[in-house]
Each structure stands twice: as C-alpha cells, then as structure tokens.
C-alpha cells in the first residue's frame, strides 16, 4: 500500500448521498404508480423501463467524483 495514502471523505459521503438520492427517486417513482397504472400495459412497461434505467445516467460522473474528486 502506498505510504502517502490518505482516506478522503468523498467515498462515505458519496455512498450516503447515493442511497439518499435513490431512496427519494424510488419514492417519486412509487408516487407515480397510480398514474402509470391507468395506462395501457405496453406504455406501463416502457415507462418502468425508462424510469428504472434513467437514474444510471449521472451515476458514472458521480462515481468518478467519489474516486478522484473531479466531475469527469
């Protein structure tokens, strides 16, 4: 292990922020379930596929920030 290694606050804070953000996002999607539940089954499927994957878009940059401190 490198002697100059110093733990950063970004990883624990990042994990807590990620869990909090995903919880809020999941609650938001669950709140939409009444509206989405009235749609045709194919539209429901499409909506849940989109809503189930859209949260991944900012994840790469967030994980890079947690590792390096840059948004990059």
Q: What residue spans define the domains of the chain? A: 10-68
pLDDT tens string 23-57? 999 999 999 999 999 999 999 999 999 999 999 98
- Read off the pTM: 0.77
Q: Please, are residues 67 and 8 in contact by the beta-carbon 8 Å criterion?
A: no
Weakest mean pLDDT among 1-10, 39-48, 49-58, 60-69? 1-10
All residues at 6 or more sequence positions from 43 whose CB lies less than 8 Å from its CB, including other chains: 36
Question: Hey, is 23 helix, strand or coil?
Answer: helix
């Amino acid at each position: 292990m490198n002697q100059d290694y110093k733990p950063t606050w970004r990883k624990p804070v990042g994990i807590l922020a990620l869990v909090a953000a995903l919880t809020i996002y999941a609650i938001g999607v669950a709140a939409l379930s009444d509206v989405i539940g009235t749609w045709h089954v194919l539209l429901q499927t499409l909506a849940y596929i989109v809503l189930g994957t859209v949260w991944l878009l900012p994840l790469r940059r967030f994980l890079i920030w947690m590792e390096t401190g840059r948004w990059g």
